[in-house]
Chains A and B, each alone.
Chain A
């Protein structure tokens, strides 16, 4: 079947049948059918390879009950013929109806109370409850990611949430303030409370049938307004909201997570219980404003946000006397002052801090002023678990790479954690990883640096090596076969190893640790030293992952090992090693290849033998020179010796002759 790409011998994806109405911002939808279940009502979302996929969420979302969430079936990596590369696809049930809001500017019929409750909030609350039970958050609840479950539009379901990092496609005003303050890519996994806020704003869309903010939105001003006067008022604006709905919206859009409505509150509201609407809880106001960049900021959160955003000038402000008096005398809560002292030190420490340390000082002070805000350093505002997706999405952006590296090296996370009033067990994994990474960044060799950070912080990121990026290697066992595929290609790169492959291996495999990588960083004069170091790593991976023979890769490595073979001085030994290498290449097993060249003792013996042979050859040359000289002067040498010989011969003959004569006469 032309244009059909099969996943796991089960799902047939029709690459000629795109479904643009079901596209996600970072994934393209195609028609799909399930051979096993004989089901044609599937879609395959082809994921953008540049964007990390929430693979762990896909695995947890299978067999999701109810109809409040698009039904995930499976996922996998397929060779996508149209662009000649491998890409991840997520298979899911096709929504029965269309998208509720085709864009944020779309205008729909306002939703009736009955539909809102039965068709949206009831399944939505059940879905969020089930997600929470499974330890997941949706983080893509927005009007444009809602679908009718059927053609008759009786209820609404959430769209997919796995083809991009959490909340990356969420408009800032649909996210809670803490999330909106972070860079889009660095909003982090978040949790149920974030989903509830998004549910509130989405409900507002459905109630109004349109975007409450209109078409032109100044997101920065909106965020400042939200910080100053709470999210509800700036977002709802002049729109008229029925009183009973207002209660729901105020509860869900509460900026204080402790006050925000939970699933139980929604259930009670659905059940008919009505309460007095909560008044928005405004952030603490200072007795006098703090001036940053010529503007006055009246509450602590807005001051912290302004300091972080204006970081190049904020260092000077923080070290100034005015900031100190603002901190000591204008804040209503002494705990803020205590937090600043705890993180940034006392007044003397702050004043004496070096000019070069100002960005760190700004980060620490803004962190202490607003402990719930993302950590902001040099213009990058990130939640603890948002730094990984940020690095993944901006890995080729040198300025962002630099920001991420400085963020990691700043070791702000432990300080941020110490300021939190509630424990955040969900962040412990990211925290422990970030604590290890400054040491990784210190080392510059392959397997370290930002590449290592990329794979440590994004556990499901595929290997981004230019050699094999198109093959979408997500697991260690896929690496050697991918390199084999490269070896079988028409153009073979210089060596089957680079910084990405090394970092990917050490981050993903327990079989390869830092000891294997260090030789890659050492510039050795030994012939093929780098090739042998690479071979040692790949041989181990091939053996431990039981990849089987890889003839192309073995031949590739063998070609790189030629200098090592030629380094043997003893020609007989060299021919023997060559023969062994050829035999090992034929097996396709890199361990055999390694055995044939990685014999340190043989190399040492060869070196010693060669040195002796050179010395002996030199001695031969000296002796020949000496003897040639003797030969030229043989007459001189023979003259004296000849006279001696003549004397001896004459003496002997004379003695014998005399004896014979005497005997003759006596006889």
Chain B
């Protein structure tokens, strides 16, 4: 048991060393992503849900905003200078923050849209059920709804037959 736990710690340490090594060798990229993904980090910090829907929503779009600049860094010159050049460009900020803003917008608008769709679907279903109820009452009379069985047909039928008896033949 103890040896198992030690192994896991050792594995984590090895992966940590590799990741740290990787970060050391890709520092300009880390710089772009670190700066560009700030809204995501902020979203992560305020996201109280275990499922981290806010982080996913904002992070996904934020990443799309950051990705072109990372690729640009990699394809042109993977250096601090280039990274600073990119960060110095306002368009870069507009892209990265704009994408994150779109993520936030999706996150804010979606529940309203979903609520609307949900309400429509429920109302349709209620209408369908009410129609079925009306059909049942039309076919079986008000008694089927469990109300008092006062059926207009009965009184009219009585009146008809009384008339017959009054003038038989």
Contacts and interface: CB of A to CB of B under 8 A. Distances in A.
Are A and B subunits of one complex? Answer: yes
A654 B59 CA distance: 9
Given A654-B64, A657-B64, A618 B111 contact: no
Given A658-B63, A661-B71, A643 B115 contact: no
B99 to A, nearest CB: 8
A602 interface: no
A552 interface: yes
Contact of B111 (A488, A574, A617, A641): A641
A628 B154 CA distance: 35
B63 A654 contact: yes
B151 interface: yes
Contacts of B143: 569, 610, 614
Interface in A525-572: 551-553, 555-556, 558-559, 562, 565-566, 569-572
A650 B164 contact: no
Contacts of A597: none
A522 interface: no
B145 A642 contact: no
A649 interface: yes
B60 A653 contact: yes
A552 B63 contact: no
A571 B53 contact: no
Contacts of A555: 161, 164-165, 168-169
A492 B56 contact: no
B110 interface: yes
Contacts of B151: 566
A439 interface: no
Contact of A643 (B49, B64, B71, B140): B49
B4 interface: no
A562 B161 contact: yes
A623 B129 contact: yes
B157 A578 contact: yes
B113 interface: yes
B67 interface: yes
A641 B111 CA distance: 7
B133 A559 contact: no
Interface stretch (A120-128, A179-187, A396-404, A629-637): A629-637
B136 A642 contact: no
Interface residues of B, number: 57
A585 B163 CA distance: 13
What does DSSP make chain B's interface, helix, strand, loop or mixed? helix
Interface in B117-148: 118-119, 122-123, 125-126, 129-130, 132-133, 136-141, 143-146
B162 interface: yes
A334 interface: no
B36 interface: no
Interface string A78-120: 0000000000000000000000000000000000000000000
Contacts of B168: 487-488, 551-553, 555-556
A69 B85 CA distance: 155
A651 B110 CA distance: 13
A620 B133 contact: yes
Contact of A613 (B56, B107, B136, B169): B136
Contact of A565 (B110, B141, B157): B157
B154 A630 contact: no
B112 interface: yes
B144 A569 contact: yes
B133 A650 contact: no
Interface string A499-511: 0000000000000
B70 to A, nearest CB: 10
A651 B71 CA distance: 20
A647 interface: yes
A241 interface: no
A375 B142 CA distance: 66
B157 A571 contact: no
In this complex, the member of B61, B68, B119, B126 whose beta carbon has the largest number of chain A beta carbons within 10 angstroms is B126
In this complex, the member of B61, B106, B110 whose beta carbon has the largest number of chain A beta carbons within 10 angstroms is B110
A644 interface: yes
B120 to A, nearest CB: 10
B138 A571 contact: yes
Contacts of A661: 64, 67-68, 71
A649 B110 contact: yes
Contacts of A613: 136, 139-140, 144
B139 A665 contact: no
B89 interface: no
Contact of B157 (A566, A627, A641): A566
A299 B54 CA distance: 128
B5 interface: no
Contacts of A552: 168-169
A639 interface: yes
A637 B118 contact: yes
Interface string B43-58: 0000001010110111
A639 to B, nearest CB: 5
A624 interface: yes
Contacts of B133: 617, 620-621
A627 B114 contact: no
A414 B109 CA distance: 105
Contacts of B161: 555, 558-559, 562
A488 to B, nearest CB: 6
In this complex, the member of A588, A644, A650, A665 whose beta carbon has the largest number of chain B beta carbons within 10 angstroms is A650
B154 to A, nearest CB: 5
B103 interface: yes
A639 B144 contact: no
B63 to A, nearest CB: 6
In this complex, the member of B133, B146, B162 whose beta carbon has the largest number of chain A beta carbons within 10 angstroms is B133
B75 interface: yes
A616 interface: yes
A667 interface: no
A592 to B, nearest CB: 15
B126 A634 contact: no
B53 A646 contact: yes
Contacts of B146: 614, 617-618
Interface string B69-97: 00110010000000000000000000000
A243 interface: no
A627 B103 CA distance: 32
A638 interface: yes
A585 B164 contact: yes
B165 A492 contact: yes
A570 B153 CA distance: 12
Closest 8 CB pairs of A and B: A642-B111, A552-B168, A638-B115, A654-B60, A646-B110, A551-B169, A657-B64, A559-B161
19 contacts: A487-B168, A553-B168, A558-B161, A559-B165, A566-B153, A610-B140, A610-B144, A623-B125, A627-B125, A631-B122, A637-B115, A642-B115, A643-B57, A643-B107, A646-B106, A650-B58, A650-B107, A654-B61, A661-B64
Given A488-B169, A617-B137, A661-B68, 7 more contacts: A617-B136, A621-B133, A624-B129, A627-B126, A653-B60, A665-B68, A665-B75
Interface of B: 49, 51, 53-54, 56-58, 60-61, 63-64, 67-68, 71-72, 75, 103, 106-107, 109-115, 118-119, 122-123, 125-126, 129-130, 132-133, 136-141, 143-146, 151, 153-154, 157-158, 161-162, 164-165, 168-169
